Chains A and B, each alone.
Chain A
């Protein structure tokens, strides 16, 4: 059978529609990446360059933003600086060139660790609780299951900040304000509803026959859940974990309200990095850039699981 060079499949997109689709995707990706790119670049500018008008696209890169992010500094007189021993490393040199000396480390590292503990802790807790609850709703006859699920979802029907005052008062009387545990519990409570709903959808799609086969093969229900259901729900669990982490990682309002010192996360910390004469924009941008890294790494690591369809198809429908 000869195929005309001009002919094409009815279902396959033609060359022009492919080009159009590619153009749309590239345009959108560009728009989405632009703010991130600007933050990334600003992190390597000097404070004057960062607020220059018109904005500078070409500039001499500087690590001043990162140095300022991790240190606290104090301005000194020329006499005092002249009396100091010569700077021992590039950080010192950079700070001295601005007529300052390093007074100590900033709190950024500690805030970042807080974010990691609270973000990953609440994500893990929400996913574990969500998976177990979703399995229960999916497989057992739970009395009033539909009402319970609606009730769980209803916690999402208002902005969480609407209940900020009651939560603040409650936390104060429980002694949970400005504590890691308090923040983990709060973010878990918000995320569990999302986790239950997402995971119930995924677990519903796993045919019961697998567990039944495993139970006949000599496994208890929990062992069957562990050995047969969990591996197949990996995709859903990964997707759910990413959503939960993004929420907990980026959450700002409660973090401002409930944390101030000990357990403060990065989002309320970054905007208040003050330099001389106002906001230290390069340091803010540097902090934001570093703050993005864990989410990107986590998402890339779990990306493989987001591609669906690997595990489906061994049950005849």
Chain B
């Protein structure tokens, strides 16, 4: 395992800039999640580290060595593709053994057998080893794809939405399993997802990417609690953060220049009418079993928050609404006030709050 660093890396495809001056260091043994919408440049970033793309400018370093001109085979990375990319003409066993049989790092066959068996066991695919790679379910293919990376001990694992096609239960299982493996091996992982639960639960640090730029890098807690902009705030939190005009609800603590207030569910307190806040109309209550989504209306604006499923709220009721320590954003969408949000330049490792 090794430290992997991108330094001011830019990659253009024709007129579009897929990755725009990204600097990022993944510390040895660290799991960094890149979070962002489709087309934000997450996958291109992984491909730049793997050597499948050559950056237009900037430097990629693996273990301190400048690998920018080095071909993929000599970079010692392992890649889990979103589309699995299992070799269809090979069996599951041969797919898993393929990286170990590469001329560049040929291992003796008994060692390969042992290694493949161990990984198959770990991923619960031992009974499928004899199958053709095409004769597997989507979930099994994805596990084989992960296994093909795990048979090696590369400098860094690059994972492109590796859990995206698993069903919810298996995904939760694999999430824990991957995290356990990562901690156990001390593996360095750069992980791409658009699933905020994966990002929040697995990452040592989260990098939020939008339109090729790394807009915030920090621990999950930092990124969640101190998002640097509205865009970052919107990417995390379920239900999504409520963005309301600054003057909708009384907020005496709002710093000057506040144009938008971001109120997550924990920033909203429902109370009796006549409290300090204005009255809100409950439009709808959705019971989700362990919690309830409450849709509120205040002066023409709709807000969504959570409530205890046993809370005595019914649609048509009126409740008092109060803000508790919300996020404040200025006219250009940047967060103001409170603790300064650490920007992308903050050092490797991050700090745990």
Contact = CB atoms under 8 A, between A and B. Distances in A.
Interface of A: 207, 209-210, 212-220, 223, 228, 231-232, 311-317
Nearest to B86: A314
Contact of A315 (B77, B85, B89): B85
B134 A216 contact: no
B87 A216 contact: no
Contact of A216 (B77, B133, B141): B77
Given A209-B85, A218-B104, A311-B88, 9 more contacts: A212-B52, A215-B51, A216-B51, A217-B102, A218-B102, A313-B88, A314-B133, A316-B83, A316-B84
Nearest to A218: B102
Given A213-B79, A313-B134, A219 B85 contact: no
Contact of A228 (B52, B71, B87, B104): B87
B73 A215 contact: yes
B89 A232 contact: yes
A217 B148 contact: yes
B98 interface: yes
Interface in B76-103: 77-79, 81-89, 98-99, 102-103
Contacts of B134: 311-314
Contacts of A207: 83, 85
Contact of B85 (A212, A231, A317): A212
13 contacts: A207-B83, A209-B81, A212-B52, A215-B72, A217-B73, A217-B102, A217-B148, A219-B103, A220-B71, A231-B89, A314-B87, A316-B138, A316-B141
Nearest to B79: A216
Interface string B121-149: 00000000000011000100100000010
Contacts of A228: 87
Contact of A316 (B99, B148, B165): B165
A217 B102 CA distance: 7
Nearest to A217: B99
B29 to A, nearest CB: 21
B85 A213 contact: yes
B89 A216 contact: no
Nearest to A232: B89
B83 A209 contact: yes
Which 10 A/B pairs are nearest by Cβ-Cβ distance?
A: A218-B102, A217-B99, A209-B85, A218-B104, A314-B88, A215-B72, A231-B89, A213-B85, A314-B86, A316-B83
Question: How big is chain B's contact interface, by range?
Answer: 20 to 34
Given A316-B83, A316-B138, A215 B88 contact: no
A219 B73 contact: yes
A314 B141 contact: yes
Contacts of A210: 85, 87
A231 to B, nearest CB: 4
Contacts of B73: 215-220
A201 B43 CA distance: 27
B279 interface: no
Given A213-B81, A215-B52, A311 B89 contact: yes
A227 to B, nearest CB: 8
A207 to B, nearest CB: 7
A317 B83 CA distance: 7
Nearest to A228: B87
A313 B75 CA distance: 29
A314 to B, nearest CB: 4
A312 B88 contact: yes
Most buried by A among B77, B83, B138: B83
B142 to A, nearest CB: 9
A78 to B, nearest CB: 69
Interface string B98-115: 110011110000000000
A216 B78 contact: yes
B50 interface: yes
A162 to B, nearest CB: 42
A224 to B, nearest CB: 9
- Give the interface centre of A214, A223, A316 by most chain B CB atoms within 10 Å: A316
B84 A314 contact: yes
A75 B51 CA distance: 79
A219 B73 CA distance: 6
A63 B75 CA distance: 69
Contacts of B84: 314-316
B121 to A, nearest CB: 21
B112 to A, nearest CB: 13
B144 to A, nearest CB: 9
A209 B87 CA distance: 10
B48 to A, nearest CB: 13
Contacts of B86: 314-315
A258 to B, nearest CB: 41
B85 A217 contact: no
B104 A216 contact: no
Nearest to A206: B88
Contacts of B87: 210, 213-214, 228, 314
Contacts of B148: 213, 217
Interface in B272-302: none
B227 to A, nearest CB: 32
A212 B89 contact: no
A232 B87 CA distance: 9
B96 to A, nearest CB: 11
A302 B116 CA distance: 34
Interface string B156-187: 00000000010000000000000000000000
A315 B141 CA distance: 9
B324 to A, nearest CB: 44
